[in-house]
Amino acid sequence: MAVLIALALFIAQAVNFGLALRERAAFRLAQATRPVAIRIADALEREAQGGRPIAPDHGRIRRATRAVIPAGLPRLPELAAELRTQLREQGVDVGRIDTGLRDWAEVDDATQRRDASRGERVRRERDHPEQMLLIAIEQPRHGWLTVIVPWDDDGGVRLFWRLFLQTLILYGVVLLPVLWIARHIARPLRELTAAAQRFGRGGGEPPVAVVERGPADIILLVRSFNALQWRVTAMLDEKDRMLGAIGHDLRTPLAALRVRIESVDDDTDRARMAETIAEMNRTLDDILSLARMGRPSEPLTEVDLAALVDAVVEDFRDLGQDVAFEEAARLRMRLRPSLIRRAIRNLIENAVKYGGSAEVRLIAEPASVCIEVADRGPGIPDNRLSDVFEAFTRLETSRNRDTGGIGLGLALARTIVREAGGDVRLANRSDGGLCATIELPRAA
């Protein structure tokens, strides 16, 4: 907003400057040509009425047989055109008009010494400008008339600095108060934006402070947001209580079943029953974890991400899994370590399950950190890469968990990473297999 106001003031001043320069140029032309046209008309009228003739060697207006302006002097064609118009208004018909600019010093050296014997000097007053304007006007059948007038070529510079000072005053008087008002109005909006970005990343955010004075729309907006945040927080709290009750109610009978299967005599049946109960517990944990995302109870902690990834890889190695990890330098980041560990574990589990092994790399970039988990499995069809992130989506159609799971691993991993401000990407490798990448911002 401040930039737009400053730009608008600059454009307005630029237009004003252009108009002022144009008006100044027109005024200078009129100021220089109108007195000359009046003097020439008066001199010609006196001469026609039998008065004093125009002399070639003295007087303000002199007669010459040819144009006496040197060819090397700068010309002012716009002044010549304006002078022709002024003379026409005075009833004087002229031919060609020539102009030239010469410094006062040159006039003093050339003309003043030549006319000193006749007692007619071209005097230079203290307030005279640095240049003189030489004008030669062709009078049909009567030769040429010459005039020397002062020429001020510094008016545009003075006008520029005057307008520049005016612009500074305008910016100080108008822009600074506007910036202060805009900042006063925008402060609650910035706080509202920050609160909206923080909301849902852990809960417990205090309400936005309501300004007591200011635009009514902003006050109403802040109050409405606080009310919305309170209602959403209340619903999330109710959801957490409901999920806790569901988890307790489901785990109790599962624990009872786990105790009862110990009375089964057949070791094979007992092992299968225990595995089924363990699978149901894992499924329940995944469902509850996915449902609670957005309201994590784990606080942000500064951890060494390289050590965290290495610890997850070591857990798989202890189980005899083929998981390789390229050693990386220490990388301190603020994360929720348990959740990030779970997201990495889910990706490695998928790689081991479908590819038999996993290759893990940690890549630190200036703005982000990438954790790559690659395998040599069959990969995923390109048109299904986004589908596998949906909850309970399985590319393998059987109900066997060992071959397809329940379709929550990738969904939970992406939800965890997105809650941390990053994302998860899947891409098929050119030499076979799949590469899953967790990208986290360095400011996470």
Domain 299-444, classified CATH 3.30.565.10, yes or no:
yes
Containing H/E element for 283?
helix 267-292
| DSSP for 394-408, written as a single string | -SS-S--HHHH--S-
Model confidence at 267, pLDDT cuts 50, 70, 90, reads confident
Residue 116 above 80 pLDDT? no
Give the pLDDT confidence score for residue 110 in this predicted structure.
Answer: 47
Domain layout of the chain by residue ranges: 2-157, 203-297, 299-444
Q: What is the mean pLDDT of residues 154-171?
A: 72
Contact indicator for 13, 137 with CB cutoff of 8 Å: no
Q: Of 62-66, 280-284, 342-346, 376-380, give the lowest mean pLDDT range.
A: 280-284
Q: Which helix (H) or strand (E) holds 295?
A: none
User: Cβ(63)–Cβ(143) under 8 Å?
Assistant: yes
Which band of pLDDT confidence, cut at 50, 70 and 90, is reported for residue 371?
very high
Q: What is the mean pLDDT of residues 109-121?
A: 41
The stretch 262-266 carries a mean pLDDT of 81
> What is the value of pTM for the model shown?
0.48
pLDDT tens for 322-338 read: 999 988 888 999 988 88
Give the separation between CA 287 and CA 426, rounded to whole angstroms: 22
At 295, list the tokens. 């309201």
At 126 the pLDDT is: 40
Using 50, 70 and 90 to split pLDDT, how confident is the model at 114?
Answer: very low
What lies within 8 Å, CB to CB, of 290 at 6+ separation is 391, 408, 411, 412, 415
Lowest mean pLDDT among 20-29, 116-125, 162-171, 214-223: 116-125
Task: Indicate the CATH number of 203-297 among 2.40.50, 1.10.8, 3.40.50, 1.10.287.
Answer: 1.10.287
